[in-house]
Amino acid sequence: MSLSRKPLVGVLAFIVVLLTMPLGHTVMILMESIFGKDHQYTAAILMGILGVYLLLRGIKINKETQSTWLGFFAGLFIWTGWVEFSYVFFANHLGVQPLIENGEIVTKPEYLIMPSSIGVLLASLLFFFFNKETRCHFFKWFHRNLKMNIGKATTGKSRNYATITAMETIYITWFFYIVLLLVYDNSIFGDRHWVTYSVFYGSLVWSLYLFIRLLKFQKMASAVRYAIPTVIIFWNAIEILGRWRFFEEIWIKPGEYAMEMGLIFSSFVVVTILTIMTPETKKSINI
């Protein structure tokens, strides 16, 4: 069966994005352990700069497939390097202590202060929500069902796929980080509250719905863009299961599980090569 046919296009896109989730955690842990407190921020700044370079390359190339991939990795590098490590820096600078339960760290200091960014998140999301050029099915569902007339999209307008993919990666990651951290907070709900269970099962059902839609894609670039929210929403359930101690989160202990993480990285490389080599078809679902 050709790799350019459904459902393999959607499956490959889902797998390659899924594998970046544990690898992203591992990269952050390795940066902290390898570079230490003296140099980890320099490494983080350089990682963010690399992300900006990839984004600029994607904008300059302006070809859908290449721009989507460059935008995706740009978003990952900028998020990890500039966003996550900025919280690490200020958590350490302000002397924020981790949340400890039963002698174990359940929430690191940087994640205790991240929910404070919810105002900026929601305010800046207004720009994307009320953007008449949006192709986001989630936003358009609200526009349609709430009968919100925000104007018609410009026909024939070229799209900046690198920027779209990078910002999609950053914002969806940011949004669901906030969701999980708020429901974990014992002063709000707590990780055993019915709201947390609702987020867990809701994420499973929602991601399953998105995955079924993803299987209909025949164009890798648009499949990757659709796989980003599909995977991140699914990963909410993985994160909650880890919080509930259903399994060992090996990606946050790469020193103890070097072989397992090596296999995950190898799988990521193989699947990424397959997705890049997948020939494009003209049929696709817009996103």
The per-residue pLDDT for range 229-276, each reduced to its tens digit, is 999 999 999 999 999 999 999 999 999 999 999 999 999 999 988 887
Residue 195 lies in a domain: yes
Pick the closest to residue 22 from 185, 182, 234, 184 (CA basis). 234
- Helical (H) or strand (E) element with 100: strand 99-101
Residues with Cβ < 8 Å from 66, sequence gap 6 or more? 58
The boundaries of the domain holding residue 33 are 10-150+161-277
- What ranges in 62-160 are assigned the alpha helix state H? 64-78, 85-93, 109-113, 118-129, 137-145
**pLDDT of 79:** 97
Structure tokens at 226: 């659709």
pLDDT band with cut points at 50, 70 and 90 for residue 157: low
**pLDDT of 281:** 57
Q: Which amino acid is at 131?
A: N
Phi and psi at 36, nearest 5°, equal: 70, 180
pLDDT band with cut points at 50, 70 and 90 for residue 88: very high
Domain count for the chain, please give it.
Answer: 1
Q: Which DSSP symbol is given to 139?
A: H
Residue 51 lies in a domain: yes
Spell out the long-range contacts of 260-266 with Cβ–Cβ below 8 A and sequence spacing 24 or more: 261/22, 261/23, 261/26, 264/19, 264/22, 264/23, 265/23
Residue 74 lies in a domain: yes
As a whole number, mean pLDDT of residues 24-42 equals 92
Residue 1 lies in a domain: no
Residue 212 lies in a domain: yes
Structure tokens at 149: 């007339």
Residue 285 lies in a domain: no
Is 156 a residue whose pLDDT tops 70?
A: no
As a whole number, mean pLDDT of residues 178-188 equals 95
Residue 203 lies in a domain: yes
The torsion region of residue 6 among left (phi > 0), alpha (psi -120 to 50) and beta comes to beta
List residues bridging with 101 in a β-sheet: 104
Residue 286 lies in a domain: no
Sign of CA dihedral 108, 166, 207, 65: negative
Q: What is the pLDDT of residues 40-66, one digit of tens each?
A: 999 999 999 999 999 999 999 878 888
Is 92 a residue whose pLDDT tops 60?
A: yes
**pLDDT of 1:** 47
Is 152 a residue whose pLDDT tops 80?
A: no
Q: What is the pLDDT of residues 93-111, one digit of tens each?
A: 999 999 888 888 889 999 9
Angle at 38 between CA 88 and CA 52, to 5 degrees: 60
- Please give the Cα distance from 88 to 25 (Å, whole number): 14
Residues with Cβ < 8 Å from 259, sequence gap 6 or more? none
Which H, E and C letters describe 184-198, residue by residue? HCCCCCCCCCHHHHH
User: How many angstroms separate the most distant Cα atoms in the chain?
Assistant: 59
Task: Please state the pTM of the whole predicted model.
Answer: 0.91
Structure tokens at 262: 């090596």
